[in-house]
Structure formats: structure tokens, C-alpha cells
Amino acid sequence: MSDKTVSQSPNLSRRALLKAGLATGVAAGAVGAARADGDPLITEIQDWNRYLGEGVQSRPYGTPSEFEAHVVRRDVEWLTASTESSVNFTPLHELDGIITPNGLCFERHHGGIAEINPADHRLMINGLVDTPLVFTMEDLKRFPRENRVYFLECAANSGMEWRGSQLNGCQYTHGMIHSVMYTGVPLKLILEEAGIKTNAKWIMPEGADASAMTRSIPMEKALDDCLVAFKMNGEALRPEQGYPLRLVVPGWEGNMWIKWLRRIEVGDEPWHQREETSKYTDLLESGKARRFTWVMDAKSVVTNPSPQAPVTHGKGPLVISGVAWSGNGRITRVDVSIDGGRNWKTARLDGPSLPKAMHRFYLDIDWDGSDLLLQSRAMDENGYFQPTKNELRAARGENSIYHNNGIQTWHVKADGTVENVEVS
């Protein structure tokens, strides 16, 4: 392992230190002669094996091990003018399975994190309804509720890669996504409680934060699978995810999942709010722009190995792992290429396969130590295949910002380091 590789990750340097420690230990053993032959971590009694650890209640709300301190959301400072209207990224390369831990779900705020006491929170339904209503959190918890796992992807995920490979790490290229189990009330039940008028065609959810975030959503979607959620992964929503209440809009771009949800207006036309006109519209090469591009199409990425997670073990068995998702339903297949898309093998999907949720795939290979050009290609239940980046550019140009679901390539070099590249 080169020094350069070591310096890239605190995790690696720790391993390097351990290795160094092991070597010293062995050398000392040779001199002392009294030491047993072997790994001193085994042959010598360790502190944690002898002394008592902390008792129960030393960590009333548990947090990850101190050795996982590097597993955090990270941001890219140059992207935005201020942190209150900005984004950070989920460390996908450190995670496995299909659920994102609450504290690692990427954040995107437009007016900072609103801190709201649930006792002070209200949800209003108004507009084209029989009776405009106000609900407290306690009222909402008296509706029948559901549990559903869904991914949430920002429409701008991979948006910095339209003009070419730019950021070195799947956390940055693909980390504007998380996958969470929500508990909430079907939006349909809440709308029916107020009574929807026959000419009602759209809803507009609104946040209580300093941006008063708003989006127009067609009634068909509102009545289909949207949830008004108050729990994520079993516990209350995190403040940065909209505590105490957020909208869940399965399979559609994350900006529509209004956080700190305080109002839903019902109307007969869309409102053309700032986030669906000046932003979250997809500028094409012709100068025309698509609007209301809600669905997040099928997409996948290899999370390991990747630039932040190089191969440290040399040739031999190598687990290639990644995630795939589709806003149109289940992922039915993921193919992986190790030669830049010339030849493909179908990967193994493992864990629950739920519609509009993240899926986990693995391809277990025997690495011969030569350079790899790793790609993954997702297929969803409608037979839609993830396109190449060049196919997307040919159809849209390079100024779309949003909805870049093109196939990602990682160059794994013989020394195990990995780089974000594009290929012929």
C-alpha cells in the first residue's frame, strides 16, 4: 500500500498503524523470546478483555463506535453560497444493506433546519375542499398509519457530472440519496377527511421553514401512494429531515417531499412555484426546458470499491457491492461490468426487494490484480435499462443539472486506488 493511499482515509491510516504495531510486536517478541508466537492481539490479553466496560445507561441514546467517527455526511463548500441553503451527502461507500441510518441521511435545506416543538406544529388543509381543516400532531396520530420503505433522491444527484467526471467519490457523485422506512398516514385519508371538490386536480404542500418550501403535485399522485410521515426507521423524524412532519412522495424527486409540512392547498391548476420553474426544470440543448419531471428513473452505482473505498487487500476474492433504485417500481436486475461496459455479468440482488426502495447488489469476483473499469447497469420492473451518460448527453445536452441517471465508471488501478472516469 502506498503512502498516498494511506493518507486518503483515516480508516486506512488506522489499519496501517495496526499493521505497524503488529510488526513491532513481532520484532519485540523475537528479542524477548518469552512471548508466544503469533498475533499479540491474540496472544496477549487486551484491556477490553480484562477491564470492565461502561455500564448500561452510559449512552442513553446510543451512538456509533469511536472508530466509526469518519463515517459522516460531508459537503462540497463551493457548491452553494451559504450552508443554510445547501446540501451534504450520504456516505454510501460506508453503508450496506438497503436502509440508511437516520444520522447519515443527506440533508438539503433551503432555509436552514427549522426547530419546531411538535406541540406547536399544525397541518392545515385548505383550498378546493369541503371543509378547511387544521390538525395537531396528536390528531394525525389517530388516523390509520402505514410503514413503507422508500428511497429519496435529489433530482440534482450526479448533477455535477453532466459535463464529465468531476468529483472523486460516490458520496459526492451519488450521495444525494437515502432509503428509509417511514411511518405515516396515507395522504389520501387526510384529504378525504377535508373532502376534495370535484374540480380539484392539484395539491401544493408547504413547509414551515424559513423558505416556506412549496411544490405542485398532481392529485392522482397525492391519492396514490403519498404519506404524511412522522417517523423514520422507527423513531421520530430527525430535525434535518423535517421533524415533526414531512411529506413522502415515493419515487419522485426529493425536493417534492416537503419537510416541516404545515399546509396542503388543494387547487385546479399548478402554482408554478420557484422550485418548479427557475429550479428543478431541465434545460435541454435546444434552449427549451422540461418542467414537472418528477419521476426518478432507474439508476445504480458501485459503492465498493470506489474512490473513497479503495481495494486494500490485493488480488483474490473481491466483493463488488452497490445500490440500485427506480422511481417506477422494483429493481429486477443489475448487471456489472469490469471492463468498461464491453462485457457484463448479472449481479446478485440481496435483501428485501421493495418498490421505489433501494436495492443492494453484489458481484463476488476473483480479482487478478489488473486494472478494472467498473460499471453497473440497473433494470426496473418495466424493462427500463439505465442509460449511459453519453446517451443522456445526446438526448439532452449538458445543461440539464437534474436527472442524471447515467452509468458511472470507476477505474480501479493495480494498487487498489480508484478514480472517477469516463470511458469510450
Partner 1 sequence: MSKFLKVLSLGVSLAALPVLAGAAQAGDPDKGAKVFKKCAACHAVGENAKNKVGPQLNEVFGRTAGALDGYKYSKAMIKAGEEGLVWDDATMTTYLEKPKAMIKGTKMAFAGLRKQEDLENVIAYLATFSSAAPAAEDAQSAAEPETAEAEVETAAANATAPAPAPVSAMREGGVLGLGRVATEDEVAAWDIDIRPDGEGLPAGSGTVADGEGLYSENCAVCHGDFGEGVGRWPVLAGGQDTLTEERPEKTIGSYWPYLSTVYDYVRRAMPYGNARSLSDDDIYAITAYLLYLNDIVEDEDFELSNENFAEIHLPNEDNFIADDRAEEPHYADKSEPCMSDCKDSPVEITMRSRILDVTPGSVDDDDAAGMGGVD
Interface pattern 110-129 for partner 1 (x via CB under 8 A): xxx----xxx-x--xxxx--
Task: Give the residue with the Cβ less far from partner 1, 98 or 253.
Answer: 253
Task: Give the residue with the Cβ less far from partner 1, 84 or 415.
Answer: 84
Give Cβ neighbours of residue 216 (< 8 Å, ≥ 6 apart): 202, 203, 204, 270, 271, 272, 273, 276, 292
* Binder among 95, 98, 128, 204 for partner 1 (CB under 8 A): 204
Task: Give the residue with the Cβ less far from partner 1, 225 or 297.
Answer: 297
When asked if residue 416 is in the footprint of partner 1 (CB under 8 A), the reply is no
When asked if residue 211 is in the footprint of partner 1 (CB under 8 A), the reply is yes
When asked if residue 290 is in the footprint of partner 1 (CB under 8 A), the reply is yes
User: Stretches 12-20, 262-270, 315-323, 360-368: which one binds partner 1 (CB under 8 A)?
Assistant: 262-270
Distance (Å, rounded) from C-alpha 398 to C-alpha 324? 23
Distance (Å, rounded) from C-alpha 216 to C-alpha 25? 65
Place of cell 456509533: 64
Length of the chain: 424
Amino acid at 168: N
Interface pattern 33-52 for partner 1 (x via CB under 8 A): --------------------
When asked if residue 279 is in the footprint of partner 1 (CB under 8 A), the reply is yes
Distance (Å, rounded) from C-alpha 307 to C-alpha 168? 6
When asked if residue 421 is in the footprint of partner 1 (CB under 8 A), the reply is yes
Amino acid at 56: V
Distance (Å, rounded) from C-alpha 399 to C-alpha 159? 9
Distance (Å, rounded) from C-alpha 156 to C-alpha 404? 7
* Binder among 27, 134, 319, 414 for partner 1 (CB under 8 A): 134
Q: Is the dihedral of CA 123, 280, 160, 396 positive or negative?
A: positive
Distance (Å, rounded) from C-alpha 361 to C-alpha 181? 19
CB of 11 to partner 1, least distance (A): 14
User: Stretches 15-23, 62-70, 139-147, 311-319: which one binds partner 1 (CB under 8 A)?
Assistant: 139-147
Under rule CB under 8 A, which residues in 390-409 are in contact with partner 1?
391-392, 395-396, 398-399, 401, 403
Under rule CB under 8 A, which residues in 167-186 are in contact with partner 1?
167-169, 172, 176
